[in-house]
Structure 1
Amino acid sequence: MIKCIAIDDEPLALRQLSEYIKTVPYLSLESSFESALEACAFMQEHAIDLVFADISMPDINGIELANSLPAGTKIIFITAHSEYAYDGFRIDAADYLLKPISLADFLQSVSKVNERYFKRNDTLPEIKQDKNHLFIKSEYRIIRICFSDIRYIESKREYVRIVLDGQEPISSLMSITKLEESLPASMFMRVHRSFIVNLEKITVVERNRIIFGNDTYIPIGDSYSARFQEYVKRNFI
């Protein structure tokens, strides 16, 4: 587990950053701070592996903070000002993210830093499965998901979003291909490079797309169309 802290004098930005950190299974958010001075005091008492910090802060700026970090502690700079990028890399920052930060960009940065500096082997969560459900890691939890509850799965680059009937979607840091390998082929089909659908949930197919509810449209990719059309023909009356 990589122990980390988040520092940003903007409360909303700090809250978003903290939530992003919590989505990554191998990151442990030890604390978050609106003040770099408070963060420095905390690090005197606690060993921290990775710091996420805004560069432009009123008491101690990110550059000064980076120069005072203990040996071995890495920093990812986060700022709304691209002109600070040179200063960030000049002091050998682990990475640099420009606000507003998307979750996809955050995950890509963390994965790169993890591979480069921490050499973890747990970047992809383990999937455990039986014939009716699977267990999957999401944030710090291991969640049981019944196959019959899954409506569709969407790839979001470094993570997947599992959409369920009557429940909040679940996100997990893994590839859609890895998840596809763990799903029963008789029940699920990949219909696009970014989508897997539960065949038993399909009610409407229109204009080379699958419709779920009133406002969810899943495209059928060209390279997946023949296989899906064959499935439809086999079940057509």
Structure 2
Amino acid sequence: MIKCIAIDDEPHALRQLAEYIEAVPYLSLERAFESAIEACTFLNENEVDLIFADINMPDISGIDFAKSLSKQVKIVFITAHSEFAYEGFQLDAADYLLKPVSFTDFLKSANKVNERYFRQNTSLPEILQNRDYLFIKSEYRIIRINFRDIKYIESKREYVKIFLDNQNPITSLMSMSKLEEYLPDTMFMRVHRSFIVNLEKITVVERNRIVFDNKVYIPISENFGDKFQEYMDKGFIKK
């Protein structure tokens, strides 16, 4: 595993960066920081392999931060200002990403850095299926997920988030379409381009959306609405 930290003073950008790191199987997010000073304190007491850092930060610039690092730690600079690229590479940066960073660009960078400096094994199978459950690759682990525990699945473009009963969501780097192939169609249905639901978990439907726990609303799109309505009709009591 490649131990990573993320640094960005913009909360939204930091959350996105953390999600990207957690979606890559061979990367392990140790901490995320909005302050380079806090990151420096953490690094004084902890070892990491790779840092994803914004260059333009208010307390310490990413350039000055990089100058303080040991040579063993690799850094990927992230910034909205392309003019900083040359100075970043002068510091022997592992790579450079220009904001806004897509997951595709992030993954290309992570793969390049991995191949060049770490060579972590990425050949684990993404999905192993059994009749009542499946094993899925998430971060550096293979996790068993029982079908009955899945509430719904959300697509995040290049990766998916699987929401479970009384557990934290599980993120895996794969497409929704690929995962859908492994789910029993008697139990699961795609109701939107971005959502698959466990039919057995549905208790409330209102205004063309499925409600989970009175706070999560899953939209039912026109493309999938007819099939879902057929399912619903089977359960209606006829007058």
TM-score (norm 2): 0.68
Q: Does 1:95 align with 2:96?
A: yes
> Aligned partner of 1:86: which letter?
E
Give the structure 2 partner of residue 191 of structure 1: 191
CA change 1:141–1:152 in 2 (3 A) is: same
Q: Where do 5+ consecutive residues of structure 2 fail to align?
A: 33-37
Report the secondary structure of 1:228's partner residue.
helix
Report the secondary structure of 2:177's partner residue.
helix
CA change 1:221–1:122 in 2 (3 A) is: farther
Cα drift, residue 116 of structure 1: 5.4
Give the structure 1 partner of residue 158 of structure 2: 158
User: Separation in 1 of the partners of 2:62 and 2:150?
Assistant: 48
Q: Does structure 1 conserve the Cα–Cα contact (< 8 Å) formed by 2:189 and 2:196?
A: yes
Q: Where do 5+ consecutive residues of structure 1 fail to align?
A: none
Q: CA RMSD in A?
A: 4.1
Deviations 1:173-207 (A, max 9, x none): 22211111110111100010000001111122222
Q: Does structure 2 conserve the Cα–Cα contact (< 8 Å) formed by 1:54 and 1:62?
A: no
> Aligned partner of 1:113: which letter?
S
Q: Does 1:34 align with 2:39?
A: yes
CA change 1:61–1:54 in 2 (3 A) is: farther
> Aligned partner of 1:96: which letter?
L
Question: Matches of residues 12-51 of structure 1 in structure 2 within 5 Å?
Answer: 21-28=21-28, 34-35=39-40, 51=51
Q: Does 1:61 align with 2:71?
A: no
Q: Does 1:228 align with 2:228?
A: yes
User: Separation in 2 of the partners of 1:198 and 1:8?
Assistant: 37
More divergent stretch after superposition (56-65 vs 191-200): 56-65
Report the secondary structure of 2:226's partner residue.
helix
Cα drift, residue 19 of structure 1: 7.6
Cα drift, residue 52 of structure 1: 2.2
Give the structure 2 partner of residue 180 of structure 1: 180
Q: Does structure 2 conserve the Cα–Cα contact (< 8 Å) formed by 1:191 and 1:228?
A: yes
More divergent stretch after superposition (186-195 vs 51-60): 51-60
> Aligned partner of 1:111: which letter?
L
Identity %: 51
Cα drift, residue 146 of structure 1: 0.8
Q: Does 1:86 align with 2:87?
A: no
User: Separation in 2 of the partners of 1:65 and 1:30?
Assistant: 19
Give the structure 1 partner of residue 35 of structure 2: none
Q: Does structure 1 conserve the Cα–Cα contact (< 8 Å) formed by 2:154 and 2:196?
A: yes
Question: What number of residue pairs does the alignment pair up?
Answer: 216
